[in-house]
Amino acid sequence: MEDEPLVQNPQVRRIDPDIVRVLAQGEKQLVDAVFASILAISVRLDEFCEDVEGRAAPSNVPSGDLLSERDSASSNNEGVVGMSTAKVALVSGAGQGIGRGIALQLAKDGFDVAVADLTFQEEKARGVVAEIEALGRRAIFVAADVSKKEDVVAAVDAAATQLGGFDVIVNNAGIAQVKPILDVTAEELDKIFSINVNSVVFGIQAAADKFIELGVKGKIISAASIASIKGFPILGAYSASKFAVRGLTQVAAQELAPKGITVNAYAPGIVGTGMWDLIDEKLSEINGKPRGQNLKENVESIALGRIETPEDVANVVSFLASEKADYVTGQVLLVDGGMLYN
Ligand SMILES: NC(=O)c1ccc[n+]([C@@H]2O[C@H](COP(=O)([O-])OP(=O)(O)OC[C@H]3O[C@@H](n4cnc5c(N)ncnc54)[C@H](O)[C@@H]3O)[C@@H](O)[C@H]2O)c1
């Protein structure tokens, strides 16, 4: 029956003489008409799909001006944690203190966050991951010693792969050393510079490479300090390391501006974290004042009259990580409650 000419089919002849007449003019007309109909339907279908896609994309994006237009985390990346349209930030030293405060604030701002810290901090860091997830964002823990370039590169790769993008790095991890300049050893200098300075170079390099690879106009933000603006006695090596962070920030900002990457730093004053517990303890050993006295005297020098919190710092980082800071680069923003005036 399939090979039989249509007009000779008795069933067709029974249908309608007009149709039979048209068909008699040749099967080609019928085939042309069917193709024309299919073409018309296909064009309408394309228009419909474009319309639907155009409207569907923004409806996936949670509210907030920090979210990217990324459709979703790439589904072909191995180990991707769910799907998201959020921007991705990595915060080093985020297991506690200022880093934890920054990680939580960025999550509140709509970022998915890679919480990077040393292996021994894993339990604390996983606690921060859980806090971020409770805020409705995605988070991963990444074990990394930021004084090792390979760790920093691997941490950035893990964040990009598992969270589906990379937009902001916060080079926050750092240590303090409290020692008169005459007593500082070569080993101590190596240690503080490798953790406070080399880490920032590695963070800038790893993040910039990833931004360029992904075509992202990313943001690099590093921890400086009031000690990056003024040298503080008994914090000589620390002050030098933070001066270096300021120098690197200015240089990287100029070198990376043509790529659309901004580079800034935050400069806290006296924040009530484990770092100041250590500074207070060491100062007591040096000047004999009772524990807590050095911290109290330093806090009294703050114009706003109270010790700084990690949230105070995180609010400034929140700004630097946002589109509101798109035209800010090469800056070290003091957030010290009024200690230095620059
Ligand atoms: N606390 C302050 O008053 C103050 C003031 C100015 C600047 N800062 C700077 O802010 C940053 C955070 O300070 P904080 O007060 O939260 O300190 P903190 O000691 O409470 O926390 C530092 C975090 O960094 C991590 N870390 C240390 N070495 C690391 C390494 N090699 N690799 C990966 N992670 C490492 C620690 O495990 C810890 O979780 C530091 O860079 C510090 O210099 C602090």
Q: What is the mean pLDDT of the chain?
A: 84
Measured in angstroms, how far is the CA atom of residue 175 from the centroid of ligand 1? 5
- pLDDT surpasses 80 at 316: yes
Structure confidence at residue 329 as a pLDDT band (50, 70, 90)? very high
Determine if ligand 1 sits within 6 Å of the CB of residue 278.
no
pLDDT of residue 57: 32
User: Which residues are known catalytic residues?
Assistant: 238
Calculate mean pLDDT across residues 123-147. 98
* pLDDT at residue 50 greater than cutoff 60: no
How many other β-carbons are positioned within 10 Å of the β-carbon of residue 96? Answer: 18
CA distance from start to end of the chain: 93
Residue 164 in contact with ligand 1 by CB distance below 6 A = no
In the chain, CATH 3.40.50.720 covers 155-335
Tell whether ligand 1 has an atom less than 6 A from the beta carbon of residue 271: yes
CA distance 197 to 211: 21
When pLDDT is cut at 50, 70 and 90, the band that residue 81 belongs to is low
What pLDDT is attached to residue 295?
A: 93
Tens digit of each residue's pLDDT (9 = 90 or more) over 232-256: 999 999 999 999 999 999 999 999 9
Atom of ligand 1 nearest to the CA of 97: 16
Residue of 118, 148, 156 to test ligand 1 pocket, by largest number of atoms within 8 Å of CB = 118
Write the burial class of residue 71 (CB in 10 Å: 0-12 exposed, 13-18 middle, 19+ buried): middle
> Quick one: average pLDDT of 76-91?
73
Is 118 a pocket residue for ligand 1 (Cβ < 6 Å)?
Answer: yes
How far apart (Å, rounded) are the C-alpha atoms in residues 227 and 336? 11
Ligand 1 contact, 274 CB (< 6 A): yes
The candidate with the shortest Cα–Cα distance to 128, out of 111, 107, 149, 110, is 107
Cβ–ligand 1 contact at 140 (below 6 Å): no
Residue 342 pLDDT level (bands cut at 50, 70, 90): confident
pLDDT of the residue at 1? 37
Nearest Cα to Cα of residue 233 among 196, 287, 277, 185: 287
Q: What is the pLDDT confidence band of residue 313, given thresholds at 50, 70 and 90?
A: very high
* C-beta separation of 167 from 218 below 8 A: yes
Q: Quote the ligand 1 centre to 89 CA distance (angstroms).
A: 17
In the predicted structure, residue 25 carries a pLDDT above the cut 90: no
Q: Which ligand 1 atom minimizes the distance to the CA of 275?
A: 19
Question: Distance between CA 85 and CA 296 in Å, rounded?
Answer: 45
Q: Which CATH architecture has domain 155-335?
A: 3-Layer(aba) Sandwich (3.40)
The answer to whether residue 27 scores a pLDDT higher than 80 is: no
Q: Maximum CA pair distance of the chain?
A: 115
When pLDDT is averaged across residues 106-134 and rounded to a whole number, the result is: 98
Q: How far is the CA of 51 from the centre of ligand 1 (A)?
A: 49
| Residue 48 confidence class, pLDDT cut points 50, 70, 90 | very low
User: What pLDDT was estimated at residue 80?
Assistant: 63
Number of Cβ within 10 Å of residue 87's Cβ equals: 27
AA identity, residue 198:
N
CA distance 89 to 81: 14
How far does the centroid of ligand 1 lie from the alpha carbon of residue 216, in Å?
Answer: 27
- 229 vs 65, which has greater pLDDT? 229
pLDDT tens sequence across 144-200: 999 999 999 999 999 999 999 999 999 999 999 999 999 999 999 999 999 999 999
| Among 148, 175, 301, residue to substitute to test ligand 1 (most atoms within 8 Å of Cβ) | 175
CB-ligand 1 contact for 276 (6 Å cutoff):
yes
- pLDDT confidence bin for 85, thresholds 50/70/90: confident
Is residue 58 pLDDT above 80, yes or no? no
pLDDT tens digits along 254-292? 999 999 999 999 999 999 998 999 899 999 999 999 999
Distance in Å, CA 23 to ligand 1 centroid: 84
